[in-house]
């Protein structure tokens, strides 16, 4: 079977299918190499058997598995398994004396005055955390050899307890993974059915709690993700698929579905990451260097960054709310999230109007859904202000109840002396500022000037609020791509194979041995090249990027500094120092060129570049939109009063069309709002390019 | 009375809409949070970047707190008093754009000399509209290294209120004086730069807010936010039954007169929508370095009041404390006067605050908490690192320990003490990579939580081996006076220390303050944090919950039997009903 997968699909199969499964919808994007056509499909997710939703979506996009040579997939299955605590029965094996690392965590108490504060709850209970004799020092030297007989006995005991998965985390294994690797081999030899994860396979960075949490999360979700991926694989192959099945990682890069079945935590945030990759693809087409990927859905707004043409990534993230978060220490897209979405609930509290973070979710949903929700949400505000059309929601598939929305808004406005309209207007203003903090979180807080960026807005609710958010931050241009409601699926079509590695190796820059650095880099790079070679696709080019995590001697938080390969070839310490000083200055506004620097970790990204589908141009028109695009006028509330605003059907717009705000551009799962003074141009590819009024 | 009328009139004249107020509220929180992120990420020493021993804040032109980004909850009052002291010192009219003021004066900040505080006056359209301010803990400020101090002069350099920057010009003389007085000048200068960046960030972001929404609207919104915080605090105070509530607890000693207990007596008077916290009967300031000054006395009262009345309201602002009165004469352990030593200022206040909760038990049994480990449990160690041939001062940051149980919930284990909030410990792997030490064990301590209907949280023990000659100092309290239970709940174990010298463990110390202990390679020290007290009678805890605690190893089979009256099978963890009924009927 693995061999047959290696052969590239033949018989004229040259279609890429991308499937993004979210909580509510399954989005499909299909690109046909031969015809150059891009199609989309949207279907309700089918939690009982997720593959059914995919098949429905593929059919809606007028495609089938047989004609596809690539199946690209992103899913919330991994993250939901953690958030809903529905993972495998998992045990932890750790160094003698350290079984409570996972429970103790970082001891912080962010909810500092709340005597009823809570702490993270490990995915593995204490009774299932076992210790074994072994010890490695920080320099990699073995202090106590691994007790192999004890480990074998422990493995048998764990198996007898009915465990499905085991995580292994030994202290200082980042400096010498020998004991972890040996322990894993011993376990798998005797218990091949167990899902075993050793922490060094995912992270070779120091910080034992974070590494432990990463390994535990991987083991905990492992059996379920493995089954899930296996089932999809089986199903699509039964339906005639004979190509490569690749999965999107949290970095936005792809890996083989087989690799996803062992390194499961790497796919935690695949959907949001794919949206940023879509933004990058859009930027390439349009020649834009710096952009913010702004994704607003039902419960959250997320922002990622394209800087100098590349998405910004981070080395770790927290899963779940900050107070009780479980860390994962792996490369991920750097995405900042705020709890403001279409379903965010507004309340009157202490004489103020508050929005979110509570969300009405999909059920009961906003009051206007008529599903029993009575609290006013951001969506209700949009409806009452005319920004959403009651009879045009989801292309008219669902009718919204304006009166219910008004009632909800009246009830929240009354104690504040506001009527429904004023309350709705206030909710949108507050929501915009709240979302602007997500954007600032990924720009100004990283030393980037948001004003230099273009805001690319997608997600069901992104285009509704994009202009207001942009104005809040001083962003001059907003772009709403085609099909913003299925943008993550679209983005997947542009992903490359990608493998990230990191190794902590503390050394002072002044006397860092370049020989050691080179051999570590080459070892990591070889792993990446081998991983790419073991996939079923043949990328047209393999690229390698090197970075160092560096800091001034005495600091703790390092900065990840991307470095050209030449500095290593030339063994140029000064150039490395210069890069670090510059990055530090840019990110934090200070640098200390006279201070010594040290290297904390070495990072490598190996990418296998895939052929990108070309972006299709749309038909050309004049400055005035065609008559067929005009869909009547509607009263829409802007700047303190209702005004007549024209509405347009996006599908009918032509390249070169210009529209001045106020106006609404409607499409299947999304509406773009132009406020008075905003100027929109439809570009050659059908993107809505908006010059924001009043932005500096 | 007349004053009140004037205030009412002003309130009426103010016209702000609830939407702008909410936007400004989110805005000022964002300002101090960004200052916090900024400081954390650029600081040089672990006490700032991991332990978050700092506070950033935004203040009105009068020095009232508008919002603080807390690292350190007990420092809730420290910056406002420092800003006010700086206003008094220079006078508002002499403050100019481009100025930055500095001090580490202990009797102003209320804390130790490590707390350098920088303040920047913010001008908008020529008007002084407020201050951004930032306190952060420097790793070393000179003074005696380790051991006990008995006056402030032995604790390091004292910087009175001075200008670090005068209309844009940095005071180089001041920097030179600081540099020569501290042991690690590059780190001190790194932290200083980080703090200056933080106050400038606060200035820039606040100005953006003023530009965007207008000076008047923002200032009015801030006044409104503070009024609403006041109204909310008063409303919640009104729900506490009127009365006079008192409690007393004890601290081990001052580190000099070993074993001489120190009394912590508090009186809380609730009347209508006001609360008075009276510390008059508190012990007098002590000879050892555990004192704090008046600012911290006020801080103790504010922390307790906020926990009881507005625990999850943000931003933290002075409006919420208008309904709180604090009575505290000078010269007490939390209102010490010069030249009282203050190096471990943060320890006693935690027990003071816990004692306020104890006093309020009869009034609001569902809002208080049993005693917690109430100490940083943060030994420090120093020596020369053979790998780098450099002097080092090492710490893991706070150890964390058990928290008390509440009326309806078990206590939380392994969490940082009341003095600290979003404070992180230092990873063991990081310490091993940095210092010549090896951590032998790091684990929860079974049975350390007080027994009760709701059980107290567990403490942590860390055993650290020296790999070179290392000098260790531990300064922990609440060893002999462990965390108490409430409403019949049992007490927890206290904070303790043990040393292994020449392979022999010694743990029979009279307290947990072991100063200047010398370790050779192979020797070790073990520091253990206390648990949290229990709440309610232990015999009322459901037997199944006790058995589950035994299964997880939080409670031993023996303790289950002796403290909870529950017989648990050590193999199957099943409850032996008959034996349990018998045990429980005996008391």
- Give the domain ranges of chain B: 12-229, 370-541, 542-585
Residue for token digits 């015809």? A35
Which two three-digit tokens encode residue A622?
């004049």
Residues A13 and A242 sit within 8 Å (Cβ to Cβ): yes
DSSP string for residues in B334-372: TS--TT---TTTTHHHHHHHHHHHHHTTTT-TTT-----
Spatial distance between the Cα atoms of B101 and B162, rounded to a whole number of angstroms: 6
Residues A529 and A645: their CA atoms lie apart, in Å, by 56
pTM: 0.93
The label of the residue with tokens 């997500």 reads A438
Q: Is the pLDDT of residue A11 over 60?
A: no
B287: distance to nearest CA of chain A, Å? 31
Beta strands in A610-661, from DSSP E residues, in sequence order: 630-638, 641-649, 658-660
Residues A589-599, buried b or exposed e (16+ Cβ, 10 A)?
bbbbeebebbb
B459–chain A Cβ distance below 8 A for any pair: no
Q: B446 and chain A: CB distance < 8 Å anywhere?
A: no
The confidence score (pLDDT) of residue B215 equals 96
CA distance B526 to B507: 9
Which residues, 6 or more positions from B219, have their beta carbon under 8 angstroms from its beta carbon?
B129
- Residue whose pair of structure tokens reads 């590819």 in the numeric block: A685
Does B184 contact chain A (CB < 8 Å)? yes
Is ipTM over 0.85? yes
Residue A74 near residue A21, CB atoms below 8 Å: yes
Q: So what's the pLDDT on residue B8?
A: 46
CA dist B489 and A404 (Å) reads: 51
Mutation site, A96, A111, A115, interface B, largest B CB count within 10 A: A115
What residues in A contact B73, CB-CB < 8 Å? 112-113
Q: Which of helix, strand or coil describes residue A419?
A: coil
pLDDT of residue B422: 86
CB contact under 8 A, B23 and A429: yes
The CA distance from A420 to A440, in Å, is 30
DSSP state of B415: B
Sheet harboring B54-59: ordered strands across? B65-70, B54-59, B127-137, B115-124, B100-103, B162-166, B169-170
Beta carbons within 8 Å of B39's beta carbon, 6+ residues apart = B48, B54, B56, B134, B136, B194, B195, B197, B198
User: Of B311, B430, B438, which has the smallest distance from its Cβ to A114's Cβ?
Assistant: B311
- Rounded to the nearest angstrom, the minimum Cα separation between A396 and chain B is 33
The token duo for B442 is 């790091």
Average pLDDT, chain A: 92
d(CA A413, CA A415) in angstroms, rounded, equals 6
Residues A46 and A101: beta-carbon distance below 8 Å: no
Burial label, A463 (beta-carbon count in 10 A; 0-12, 13-18, 19+): buried
Tell me the chain A residues in contact with residue B49 when contact means C-beta distances shorter than 8 Å.
555-557
Q: Does B406 touch chain A (CB under 8 A)?
A: yes
CA distance A196 to A518: 31
Round to whole Å and give the CA distance between A566 and A571: 8
A370, two tokens: 């008529």
B568 Cβ under 8 Å from any chain A Cβ: no
A352, B44: Cβ pair inside 8 Å? Answer: no
Work out the widest C-alpha separation in chain B, in whole angstroms.
81
CATH architecture of the region A269-495: 2-Layer Sandwich (3.30)
Spell out the per-residue pLDDT of chain B, length 587, in tens: 344 444 444 445 567 888 999 999 999 999 998 898 888 777 766 667 667 788 999 999 999 999 998 778 888 999 999 999 999 999 999 999 999 999 999 999 999 999 999 999 999 999 999 999 999 999 889 999 878 999 999 999 999 999 999 999 999 999 999 999 998 898 889 889 889 989 999 999 999 999 989 999 999 999 999 999 999 999 999 999 999 999 999 999 999 999 999 999 999 999 999 999 999 999 999 999 999 999 999 999 999 999 999 999 999 999 999 999 999 999 999 999 999 999 999 999 999 999 999 999 999 999 999 999 999 999 999 999 998 888 888 888 899 999 999 999 999 999 999 999 988 898 999 999 989 999 999 999 999 999 999 999 999 999 999 999 999 999 999 999 999 999 999 999 999 999 999 999 999 999 999 988 999 999 999 999 999 999 999 999 999 999 999 999 999 999 999 999 999 999 999 999 999 999 999 86
Helices (H), B141-184: 172-181
Q: What angle do CA A162, A163, A169 make, to 5 degrees?
A: 150
Q: Measured between CA atoms, how close is A50 to chain B, in angstroms? A: 36
CB contact under 8 A, B416 and A208: no
Residues A506/A598, Cβ–Cβ less than 8 Å: yes
User: Whose structure tokens read 């390091």?
Assistant: B156
Least confident segment among A27-36, A272-281, B38-47: B38-47
**Short-list A319, A188, A190, CA closest to A265:** A319
pLDDT of residue A555: 75
- CB count in 10 Å sphere of residue B528: 27
Give residues with Cβ within 8 angstroms of B198, minimum separation 6: B35, B36, B38, B39, B42, B56, B118, B132, B134
How many helices (H) and strands (E) chain B has is answered by 14, 20
B586 touches chain A (CB under 8 A): no
**Which chain B positions have a beta carbon within 8 Å of A113's beta carbon?**
73, 303, 306-307, 310-312
Q: Which residues contact A522 (CB under 8 A, 6 or more apart)?
A: none
3-state secondary structure B45-56: CHHHHCCCCEEE
A73 to A273, A490, A491, A531, B551: CA distances (angstroms):
12, 11, 11, 19, 42
B49 closest CB neighbour out of A104, A206, A556: A556
The domain A497-609 is placed in CATH, from the list 3.40.1350, 2.60.40, 3.30.70, 3.30.1490, at: 3.30.1490
CA pair distance B415, A104, nearest whole angstrom: 8
Residue B302, burial from CB neighbour count under 10 angstroms (0-12, 13-18, 19+): buried
Q: How many CB atoms lie within 10 A of CB A137?
A: 17
- Considering only the beta carbons, identify the residue of B369, B414, B429 that sits closest to A138: B429
Show the DSSP H helices in A75-177 as ranges.
77-83, 101-104, 148-160
Mutate to test the interface with A, among B11, B18, B398 (most CBs of A within 10 A): B18
Angle at A362 (CA atoms; ends A360, A367), nearest 5 degrees: 55
CB proximity B25 to A under 8 Å: yes
- Spatial separation of the C-alpha atoms in residues B352 and B209, rounded to whole Å: 39
The minimal CB distance from A104 to the residues B21, B200, B414 is found for: B414
pLDDT at A8 over 50: no
Q: What is the mean pLDDT of residues A130-138?
A: 98
Encode burial over A487-509: b for 16+ CB neighbours within 10 A, e otherwise: bbbbbbbbbbbbbbbbbbbbeeb
- Chain A residues with CB-CB distance to B434 below 8 A: 506
Q: Which chain A residue has its CA at the smallest distance from B194's CA?
A: A590
B547 lies within 8 A of chain A by CB: no
Sign of CA dihedral A435, A436, A439, A444: negative
- Measured between CA atoms, the residue of chain B closest to residue A430 is B23
pLDDT in tens, A323-372: 899 999 999 999 998 889 999 999 998 778 999 888 887 678 899 998 88
- B237 backbone φψ class: left, alpha, beta (φ>0; ψ -120 to 50): alpha
Residues contacting residue A178 through CB under 8 Å, at least 6 positions apart? A136, A142
CA distance A319 to A330: 12
What is each CA distance from A585 to A332, B42, B165, in whole angstroms? 23, 10, 21
Angstrom distances, CA of residue A684 to CA of A462, A481, A689, B106: 22, 12, 10, 67
Query: Which residues does chain B have within 8 Å of residue A143's beta carbon, measured at their own beta carbons?
Result: 438
Angle at B88 between CA B83 and CA B89, to 5 degrees: 95
Shortest CA distance from A107: residue in chain B:
B415
- Who among B307, B414, B429 is closest to A113 (CB)? B307
Q: Is B520 part of the contact surface with chain A (CB cutoff 8 Å)?
A: no
Interface test with B, best of A106, A113, A445, A639 (most B CBs within 10 A): A113
Which residues from A are below 8 Å from B312, CB to CB? 111, 113-114
A2-81+226-265 in CATH: which number? Answer: 3.30.420.40
User: In Å, how far is B39's CA from the nearest CA of chain A?
Assistant: 9
Minimal CA separation from B47 to chain A, in Å: 10
Q: Between chains, do B413 and A430 touch, taking CB under 8 Å as contact?
A: no
CA nearest to B342, candidates B533, B109, B507: B109
Query: Which residue, among B360, B371, B357, has the nearest Cα to B405 in the 3D structure?
Result: B371
Which residue on chain A is closest to B37 by alpha carbon?
A445
Summarised one tens digit per residue, pLDDT across range A388-432 is 998 877 777 788 999 999 999 999 999 999 999 999 999 999 999
Predicted pLDDT at A696: 54
CA angle A76, A77, A78 (to 5 degrees): 95
Q: How far apart are CA A81 and CA A197, in angstroms?
A: 17
Q: Under CATH, which architecture does the A82-225 domain have?
A: 3-Layer(aba) Sandwich (3.40)
Question: In residues, how long is chain B?
Answer: 587
Q: With an 8 Å Cβ cutoff, is B424 touching chain A?
A: yes
Residues of A in contact with B21 (CB under 8 A): 351-352
Please give the Cα distance from A355 to A378 (Å, whole number): 8
Determine the Cα–Cα distance for residues A135 and B428; give it in Å rounded to an integer: 13
Q: Which residue is closest to B413 within chain A, CA to CA? A: A104
Task: Name chain A contacts of B34, Cβ cutoff 8 Å.
Answer: 440, 444-445
Q: In terms of Cα–Cα distance, which of B131, B194, B193, B118 is closest to B159? A: B118
User: Do the domains at A2-81+226-265 and A269-495 have one common CATH topology?
Assistant: yes
Pick the residue of A99, A103, A108, A696 with the most B CBs within 10 A to test the interface with B by mutation: A108
Any A CB within 8 A of B38 CB:
yes
Please state the domain extents for chain A.
2-81+226-265, 82-225, 269-495, 497-609, 627-691
Q: What is the dihedral of CA B438, B441, B444, B445, to 10 degrees?
A: -120
SS (H, E, C) A551-600: EECCCCCCEEEEECHHHHHCCCHHHHHHHHHHHHHHHHCCCCCCCCEEEE
Which residues from chain B sit within 8 angstroms of residue A416, using beta carbons?
18
Cβ distance B23 to A354 less than 8 Å, yes or no, reads no
């Amino acid at each position: 079977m693995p061999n047959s997968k290696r052969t590239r699909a033949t018989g004229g199969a040259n279609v890429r299918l991308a499937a993004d499964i979210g909580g509510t919808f399954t989005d499909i994007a299909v690109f046909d190499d031969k015809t150059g056509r891009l199609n989309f499909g949207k279907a309700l997710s089918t939690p009982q058997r997720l593959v059914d939703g995919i098949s429905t979506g593929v059919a809606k996009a007028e495609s089938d598995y047989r004609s596809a040579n690539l199946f690209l997939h992103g899913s919330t299955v991994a993250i939901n398994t953690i958030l809903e605590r529905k993972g495998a029965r998992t045990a932890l094996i750790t160094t003698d004396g350290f079984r409570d690392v996972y429970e103790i965590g970082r001891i912080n108490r962010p909810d500092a005055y709340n005597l009823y504060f809570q702490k993270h709850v490990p995915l593995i209970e204490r009774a299932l955390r076992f210790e074994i004799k072994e010890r490695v020092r920080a320099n990699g030297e073995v202090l106590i050899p691994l007790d192999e007989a004890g480990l074998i006995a422990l493995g048998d005991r764990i198996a007898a307890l009915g465990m499905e998965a085991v995580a292994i985390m030994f202290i200082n294994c980042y400096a010498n993974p020998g004991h972890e690797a040996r322990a894993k081999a011993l376990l798998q030899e005797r218990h091949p059915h167990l899902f075993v994860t050793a922490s060094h396979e995912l992270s070779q960075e120091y910080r034992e709690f974070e590494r432990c949490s990463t390994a535990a999360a991987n083991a905990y979700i492992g059996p379920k993700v493995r089954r899930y991926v296996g089932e999809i694989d089986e199903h699509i192959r039964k339906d005639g698929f004979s190509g490569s099945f690749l999965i999107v990682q949290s970095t936005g890069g792809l890996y083989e579905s087989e690799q996803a079945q062992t390194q499961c935590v790497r796919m935690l945030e695949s959907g949001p990451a794919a949206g940023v990759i879509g933004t990058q693809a859009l930027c390439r087409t349009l020649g834009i260097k710096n952009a913010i990927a702004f994704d607003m859905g039902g419960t959250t707004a997320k922002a990622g960054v394209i800087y100098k043409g590349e998405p910004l990534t981070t080395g770790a993230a927290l899963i779940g709310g900050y107070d009780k978060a479980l860390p994962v220490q792996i490369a991920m897209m750097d995405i900042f999230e705020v709890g403001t979405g279409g379903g965010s609930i507004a309340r009157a509290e202490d004489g103020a109007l508050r929005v979110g973070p509570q969300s009405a979710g999909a059920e009961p949903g906003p009051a206007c859904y008529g599903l029993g929700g009575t609290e006013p949400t951001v969506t209700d505000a949009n409806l009452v202000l005319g920004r959403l059309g009651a009879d045009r929601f989801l292309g008219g598939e669902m009718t919204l109840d304006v009166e219910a929305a008004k009632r909800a808004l009246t009830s929240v406005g009354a104690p504040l002396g506001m009527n429904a309209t004023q309350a709705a207007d206030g909710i949108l203003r507050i929501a915009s500022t709240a979302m602007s903090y997500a954007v600032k979180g990924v720009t100004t807080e990283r030393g980037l000037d948001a004003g230099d960026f273009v805001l690319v807005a997608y997600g069901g609710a992104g285009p509704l609020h994009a202009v207001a958010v942009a104005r809040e931050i001083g962003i001059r241009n907003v772009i709403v791509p085609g099909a913003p409601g299925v943008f993550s699926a679209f983005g997947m079509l542009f992903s490359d194979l990608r493998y990230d590695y990191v190794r902590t190796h503390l050394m002072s820059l002044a006397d860092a041995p370049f020989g050691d650095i080179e051999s570590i880099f080459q070892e990591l790079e070889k792993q990446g090249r081998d991983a790419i070679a073991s996939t079923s696709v043949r990328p047209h080019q393999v690229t390698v990027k090197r970075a160092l995590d560096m800091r001034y001697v005495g600091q703790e938080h390092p900065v990840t500094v991307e470095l050209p390969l030449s500095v290593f070839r030339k063994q140029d310490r000064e150039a490395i120092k210069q890069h670090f000083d510059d990055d530090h200055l840019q990110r934090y506004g200070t640098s200390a060129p006279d201070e010594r620097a040290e290297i904390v970790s070495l990072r490598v990204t190996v990418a296998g570049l895939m052929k990108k589908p070309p972006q299709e141009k749309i038909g050309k028109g004049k400055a005035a939109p065609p008559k067929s695009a005009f869909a009547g006028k509607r009263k829409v509330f802007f700047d303190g009063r209702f005004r007549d605003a024209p509405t347009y059907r996006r599908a009918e717009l032509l390249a070169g069309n210009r529209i001045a705000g106020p106006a609404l551009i409607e499409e299947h799962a999304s509406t773009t709002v132009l406020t008075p003074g905003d100027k929109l141009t439809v570009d050659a590819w059908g993107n809505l390019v908006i010059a924001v009024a009043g932005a500096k | 009375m007349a004053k009140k009328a004037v205030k009412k009139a002003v309130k009426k004249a103010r016209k702000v809409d609830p939407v702008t107020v909410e936007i400004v509220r989110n805005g000022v929180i964002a300002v101090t949070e960004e200052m916090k992120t900024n400081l954390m990420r650029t600081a040089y020493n672990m006490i700032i970047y991991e332990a978050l021993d700092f506070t950033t804040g935004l203040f009105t032109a009068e020095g009232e707190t508008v919002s603080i980004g807390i690292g350190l909850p007990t420092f809730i009052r420290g910056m406002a008093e420092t800003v006010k002291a700086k206003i008094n010192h220079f006078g508002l009219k002499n403050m100019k754009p481009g100025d930055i003021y500095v001090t580490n004066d202990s009797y102003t900040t209320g804390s130790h000399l490590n707390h350098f505080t920088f303040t920047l006056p913010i001008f908008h359209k020529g008007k002084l509209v407020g201050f951004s301010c930032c306190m952060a803990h420097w790793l070393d400020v000179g003074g005696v290294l380790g051991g006990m101090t008995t006056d402030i002069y032995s604790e390091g350099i004292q910087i009175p209120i001075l200008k670090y920057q005068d209309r844009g010009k940095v005071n180089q003389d001041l920097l030179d004086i600081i540099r020569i007085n501290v042991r690690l000048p590059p780190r001190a200068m790194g932290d200083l730069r980080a703090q200056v960046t933080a106050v400038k960030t606060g200035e820039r972001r606040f100005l953006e807010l003023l530009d965007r929404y207008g000076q008047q609207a923002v200032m009015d919104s801030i006044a409104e936010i503070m009024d609403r915080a006041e109204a909310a605090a008063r409303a919640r105070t009104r729900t506490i039954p009127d009365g006079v509530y008192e409690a007393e607890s004890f601290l081990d000693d001052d580190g000099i007169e070993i074993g001489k207990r120190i009394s912590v007596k508090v009186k809380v008077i609730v009347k209508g929508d006001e609360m008075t916290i009276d510390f008059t009967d508190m012990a007098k300031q002590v000879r050892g370095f555990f004192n704090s000054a008046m600012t911290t006395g006020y801080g103790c009262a504010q922390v307790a009041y906020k926990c009881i009345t507005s625990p999850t309201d943000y931003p933290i602002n002075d409006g919420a404390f208008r309904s709180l009165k604090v009575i505290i004469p000078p010269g007490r352990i939390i209102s010490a006067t010069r030249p009282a030593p203050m190096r471990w200022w943060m320890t006693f206040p935690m027990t003071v605050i816990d004692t306020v909760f104890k006093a309020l038990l009869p009034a609001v049994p569902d809002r208080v908490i049993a005693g917690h480990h109430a100490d940083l449990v943060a030994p420090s160690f120093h020596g020369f690192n053979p790998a780098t041939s450099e002097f080092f001062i090492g710490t893991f940051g706070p150890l964390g320990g058990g928290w008390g149980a509440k009326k309806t919930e078990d206590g939380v284990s392994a969490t940082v003490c009341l003095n600290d909030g979003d404070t992180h410990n230092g990873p063991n792997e990081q310490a091993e990579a940095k210092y010549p030490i090896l951590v032998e064990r790091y684990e929860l301590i079974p049975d350390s939580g007080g027994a009760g209907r709701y059980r107290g949280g567990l403490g942590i023990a860390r055993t650290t081996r020296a790999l070179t000659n290392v000098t260790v100092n531990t300064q922990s309290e609440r060893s002999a006076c462990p965390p108490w239970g409430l409403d019949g709940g049992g007490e927890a174990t206290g904070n303790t220390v043990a040393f292994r010298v020449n392979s022999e463990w010694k743990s029979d110390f009279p307290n947990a303050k072991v100063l200047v202990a010398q370790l050779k390679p192979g020797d070790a020290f073990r520091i253990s944090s206390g648990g949290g007290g229990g709440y309610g009678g232990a015999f009322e805890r459901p037997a199944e919950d006790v058995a589950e605690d035994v299964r997880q190893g939080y409670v031993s089979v023996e303790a289950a039997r002796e403290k909870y009256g529950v017989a648990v099978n050590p193999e199957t963890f099943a409850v032996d009903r008959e034996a349990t009924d018998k045990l429980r009927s005996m008391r």
